[in-house]
Amino acid sequence: MSLPPLKLSSPAKVNLSLRVLGKREDGFHTVETRMCPISLADEVTVTLKGSGETVLTCSDPTIPTNESNLALKALHAFEQRLGSTSSWDIHLEKRVPHGAGLGGGSSNAATVLLAANELSGTPFSTSELSAIAAEIGSDVPFFLHRKPCDATGRGEVVTPVEHFPWRLPLVLLKPPFGIPTPWAYKRWKESKELPGVTYAAQLCAWGEMVNDLERPVFEKWTMLPTLKTWLLDQPETQAALMSGSGSTVFAVTRSAADAGLLAERARTLCGETTHVFVAETL
């Protein structure tokens, strides 16, 4: 007999800071980053079936549901570590855009790990799940914690932030294109700053906001520095930054009401091709 389906939120994230420290021998880069989960989230439903094939479905037809999907990779890594296989149904109800620097695929993978662990009787601790998660992707361990975290290494060494009392109101702008993360890191060292664009760390009550990947990404995708500069010029904005390797640029506003006002203005400016989201950090 199959167990009842387990439905979990799969939150996106923003990087409040991202420093690239250098390239490692394994080809990855050493980073220091602070990530926060946000209220913009997918919904992941996982069912442990009695029999049959494992099936992954997704509300977004542009997202592959084959072995390239991180959600399936997570499930297979979980079963390999467990030493047994079962039959599962996984459904992804997508709200987080992909190619956005918001960690949607990594979050789905972590959420599948949490669900599979619960439905299997909790065979693994959080640290054991983190080891599985690190095999799937650099950001996946962070999403197991569901709270602000600092990450080092290639992003997989995660430490929850002890004291983070802020729930930051956010406006996110996602243009109609994605940025390949490997490309951004590859171009990091050789890239140059564009004149008139703010790259310096913005000092805020919750810490500095800076992203070293803005330099290579802004060089090629010039719409993004235009959006960031516009956000910084708005009276509601406390700070603005690109998240991860892009393409999302976001603003931290002074209040939730200000986020609503800024989002309306952004929708008028950007039109229908750029998605505008209002959210907050969790």
76 annotated ligand binder: no
50 annotated ligand binder: no
Q: Cα–chain-centroid distance for residue 16? A: 12
Centre a 10 Å sphere on the Cβ of residue 58 and count the other Cβ atoms it contains. Answer: 18
The sign of the CA dihedral 259, 231, 41, 169 is negative
279 annotated ligand binder: no
CA distance 196 to 74: 43
* Residue 173, beta-bridge partner list: 249, 276
User: Which residue blocks in 120-250 are alpha helix, DSSP H?
Assistant: 126-136, 140-143, 181-187, 214-220, 223-233
CA distance 239 to 258: 13
The reply to whether 139 belongs to the active site is yes
Give me the catalytic one of 13, 73, 174, 228. Answer: 13
68 annotated ligand binder: no
- Angle among Cα 251, 256, 257 to the nearest 5 degrees reads 110
Contact criterion met (CB below 8 Å) for 137 and 217: no
CA distance 137 to 133: 7
243 annotated ligand binder: no
99 annotated ligand binder: yes
The reply to whether 13 belongs to the active site is yes
106 annotated ligand binder: yes
84 annotated ligand binder: no
Cβ burial of 51 (10 Å; 0-12, 13-18, 19+) is exposed
104 annotated ligand binder: yes
Give me the catalytic one of 73, 94, 139, 212. Answer: 139
Cβ burial of 192 (10 Å; 0-12, 13-18, 19+) is exposed
Residue tagged 């310096």 (tokens): 200
Active site residues: 13, 139
Q: What residues are designated binding site for ATP?
A: 97-107
Q: What residues are designated binding site?
A: 97-107
